[in-house]
Structure 1
Amino acid sequence: MPTVDAVVRCPIAPTFRVSQLAGMFDLPPEPHTERRFQVELPGLDQPWQVGLIVGPSGSGKTTVAAAAYGRRLRKRLRWRRDRAVVDGFDRRLSTRAITQALVACGLGSPPAWCRPYHTLSTGEQFRADLARGLVSPGKLLVLDEFTSVVDRPAARLACHAVRRALDRQTFAKRLIAVTCHEDVARWLRPDWVLRMPEGTLTRRCLRRPRLRLEIFRCRHDVWPLFAPHHYLTGKLNHAARCYAGLVDGELATFAATLNHFRPDRLRISRLVTLPKFQGVGLGGAMLDGMGSLLSEAGAESITINAGHPAVIGHCNRSAKWEFRRLYKTGRKPSGMYLQHPHWKTSAGRAVATFRWKFS
């Protein structure tokens, strides 16, 4: 196992005030100060995916990371103020690869993808930085001040999202987080942890805490909280039945249903997760919960037309949803939709149709 030997040396200017302080506190006159850090870190030839270097400010974690990984150590990324977030990625990446990376890191709101980086919230900026770093060239990403600018609940959920994506091999990348926040360990589930200033290295993989989602019927007045984060329109059909999902008593997800001209044939018309909770699987859990809830209430058919990559990915992976058809240019208005041209359809955009499998 490689040993990192880092030395920080700084000259001391022999000024009058320095000499005065040395006399006041009986400090020995020194031409420079020096701190040495000697620690062990797992090698890049060993099997691991996520590492964590954690310790209080001034404990030497950044010094050790810089000595071990050099230029691969990053802090904040630079983004152009006159370009959308999706335009801040490597030009060689496809739009599909960029959006998949953003979704995997918990930034799953298409309206946010089209805005400049500086207009995003602090939590959204952190997730954008993370996504861009994970699809950057190279096999290792080392992030300094990891989650330092994000409130703790949002930081834990972001860690949950990125570890989930790494476990699914969404990124061909190793991640090392350098932080002063111990609380991220349970959610990031690192394969090894270096604790400073003790310099102790432990190898383990913690069990991820479980999130409990509670679904209940709600009124239309809940929708305005979720509308800005929906990737289509902020409008909600007056005939829609609304449902909200709570995590630890806090609103996290929203779903709405419409019937296909029969009360027992339902379509999930809205599915939105608030930015703070994106990337941890709550949207998929809400979708599955809605399927179970509606089928128990007597529904004979439950479908969803999805264009969002996260929804399509969940339905494709799930054994509870059956793929029915792909409409590359959307569904053209027909039947009663021709008589009501103001009704929203999927014309002009690609959507996939899935149907709930009744047990």
Structure 2
Amino acid sequence: MPKKVSSRPPIQLDIWKADGSFWKFFKEHYYLDLPHPPCAEYFVGTVDGELVCHLAVTPLFTAKAYRATRLVVMPEWQGAGVGTQFLNFVMQYHLEGNGRKGYKYHTFFHTSHPQLCGYLRNSKLWRQTSAKLHGDNKLRSMKSMQRTCKPIGGGKKMKAGYGGHFRAVQGFKYLGVGTTDSEKSIQNERKI
């Protein structure tokens, strides 16, 4: 006799604009150890008062955009779909002009998480903008930073550099709900 499969119950995710102090609860689940992003707005998602997800959004006004970073979904909530809904809500919030300075800018997001990349690549709300499938040369980055930071005290003492890892980082742009970009994307997908 076949088993009856029931759908999962709906999850009520409450989204809050917060300050950077909530990061300490999510930090151990993030793969990088970096200082707070400059000028960031922070968002947390809760279910029944339990911290579930975190995201920071920084302005990139020289590029007429925002950049989302530090998306963390607590391990016990991963795979339930709350992270993608949370990310889409915060991106739409900024696209509608609710972010810093009230600009209605698109948001860029980079990730190396394979399942998240798959979701974003196949969503009508997102468009993939880049894919770097190998790491950078950390020594070359360090030398460049030493040259660049010399006037402000970095010089030869600086040991920092980016790269040296083999993460496959992919970039995406949030198109949004009801925007011409997303409508064009939907129409193009129907043609294929």
Shared fold by TM > 0.5? yes
Cα deviation digits, residues 160-197 of structure 1 (max 9, x gap): xxxxxxxxxxxxxxxxxxxxxxxxxxxxxxx62xxxxx
Aligned match for 1:253, one of 53, 61, 77: 53
Question: 5+ residue gaps in structure 2?
Answer: 98-102, 150-157, 180-192
2:170 is aligned to 352
For residues 168 and 109 of structure 2, what CA distance do their matches in structure 1 show?
13
For residues 271 and 243 of structure 1, what CA distance do their matches in structure 2 show?
10
- Structure 1 residue 239, shift from structure 2 partner: 2.6
CA RMSD of aligned residues (A): 2.8
**How many percent of aligned residue pairs carry the same amino acid?**
25
2:74 is aligned to 274
- Secondary structure in structure 2 of the residue aligned to 1:319: coil
For residues 270 and 276 of structure 1, what CA distance do their matches in structure 2 show?
18
Tell me if the contact between 2:38 and 2:58 (Cα under 8 Å) persists in the aligned partners: no
Aligned residue pair count: 157
For residues 54 and 104 of structure 2, what CA distance do their matches in structure 1 show?
19
Aligned match for 1:329, one of 102, 115, 134: 134
- Secondary structure in structure 2 of the residue aligned to 1:314: helix
1:289 aligns with 2:89: yes
**Which letter maps to 2:110?**
N
Distance verdict in 2 for CA 1:275–1:254, change over 3 Å: same
- Structure 1 residue 261, shift from structure 2 partner: 4.5
For residues 21 and 40 of structure 2, what CA distance do their matches in structure 1 show?
12
Distance verdict in 2 for CA 1:330–1:285, change over 3 Å: farther
Tell me if the contact between 1:329 and 1:347 (Cα under 8 Å) persists in the aligned partners: no
- Structure 1 residue 304, shift from structure 2 partner: 0.7
Tell me if the contact between 2:94 and 2:106 (Cα under 8 Å) persists in the aligned partners: no
**Which letter maps to 2:7?**
R
For residues 320 and 347 of structure 1, what CA distance do their matches in structure 2 show?
32
Tell me if the contact between 1:273 and 1:283 (Cα under 8 Å) persists in the aligned partners: yes
For residues 206 and 263 of structure 1, what CA distance do their matches in structure 2 show?
46
Cα deviation digits, residues 295-321 of structure 1 (max 9, x gap): 112332211111112321220221111
- Structure 1 residue 323, shift from structure 2 partner: 0.9
Question: 5+ residue gaps in structure 1?
Answer: 1-41, 43-190, 193-203
Bigger Rg, structure 1 or 2: 1
Structure richer in helix, relative to its length: 2
Distance verdict in 2 for CA 1:343–1:245, change over 3 Å: farther
2:8 is aligned to 208
Q: Which runs of 4+ in 1 moved over 3 A?
A: 261-264, 330-333, 337-348
1:229 is aligned to 29
